[in-house]
Structure 1
Amino acid sequence: MMQHIDIIRLSEKQKQQLITLKRKTGIENWNVLCRWALCKSLADPSVPPKENIPSDSNVEMTWRTFAGSEYKIYESIVLLRSKKDLMGENIHDFIKIHISRGLNMLLKTSFI
């Protein structure tokens, strides 16, 4: 059965990482930074380590806000990758794991 993506809820750690990226880049919208993080992680062919990432911050957004006008394309990419990686997580955990890895990758890059 195909899972539906509705709300993205982030952890307090992810929120703090977004605040740092926002300050470094000047990009005001967290959904844009989250999309960058997701894409950066999905571009890495390795499977991210499984983590239990809480939804303990006040940062949440609808999937359409997160993904923008191309939400159907992002949803297809995420669903295809989750099947490829054969990860047993629900789709929301899968996305949070990739956002987490992507945020870490973006914070470590020298061009930001």
Structure 2
Amino acid sequence: MQPPVERIRLSKTGRDQLIKLKRYTKIEQWNVLCRWGFCRSLAEPTKPSPVPIPNDSNLEITWRVFGGEMSDVFILALKQRCYQDGLGTDPDTLAQQFRLHLHRGISYLAGDPNLKRIEQLFSTLL
């Protein structure tokens, strides 16, 4: 399947939030935390706000690293969400919605006052 983006460059704010999450959860891989953030945003019933997200950090990962073995599942989940939200599934829409969901989810995780340890991250599943 064609990924929505080939490379993911995060904003400086997103990078700083991931650093905070790494410190709290002890999860060292950026891609794992990004996956959690993306899924956290998809779980929200509302659409992410269409705000501009700058590419102003030096943190960049490829889609292959982000998605790993679950790459196709993430693509299908994004397409389903775009369809559910009444948006198109053209490449530009998918790329935009992916970035919006990724940054919103990272922001939600980093802003959660109850998230101070990896166990609390897992408890968000329940």
Common topology (TM > 0.5): yes
Q: Check conservation: 1:5, 1:75, Cα contact below 8 A.
A: no
> What are the superposed Cα offsets for residues 1-57 of structure 1, whole Å, 9 maximum, x if unpaired?
x87432111111111111111011100000000000000000111111111001111
Does residue 106 in structure 1 map to residue 100 in structure 2? no
- Secondary structure (helix, strand or coil) at the match of 1:61 reads strand
Bigger Rg, which one: 2
> Number of residue pairs matched?
111
- Corresponding position of 2:13: 13
Assess, with a 3 A threshold, how the Cα gap between structure 1 residues 17 and 111 changes in structure 2: closer, same or farther.
closer
The one-letter amino acid of 2:20's match is T
Instruction: Give the Cα separation in 1 of the matches to 2:86 and 2:31.
Output: 26
CA–CA distance in structure 1, aligned partners of residues 4 and 40 of structure 2: 22
Q: Give unmatched runs, 5+ long, in structure 2.
A: 117-126
Q: How does 1:28-107 map to 2 (within 5 A)?
A: 28-87=28-87, 90-107=93-110
Please tell me the residue identity of whatever aligns with 1:90.
T
What is the TM-score with the length of structure 1 in the denominator?
Answer: 0.88
Moved over 6 A (4+): none
Q: Distance in 1 between matches of 2:3 and 2:63?
A: 13
Considering only aligned residues, what root-mean-square deviation do their CA atoms show, in Å?
Answer: 1.8
Mapped partners of 1:48, 1:91: distance in 2: 13
On the 8 A contact 2:48/2:101 being kept in 1, the answer is yes
* Paired-residue identity, %: 40
- Flag structure 1 segments of 5+ consecutive residues without an equivalent: none
Question: Is the Cα–Cα contact under 8 Å of residues 22 and 28 in structure 1 kept in the other structure?
Answer: yes
> What residue in structure 1 maps to residue 123 of structure 2?
none
Query: Residues of 2 paired with 1:94 and 1:55: CA distance?
Result: 15
Please tell me the residue identity of whatever aligns with 1:54.
P
Q: Retained in 2: the 8 A contact 1:8–1:92?
A: no
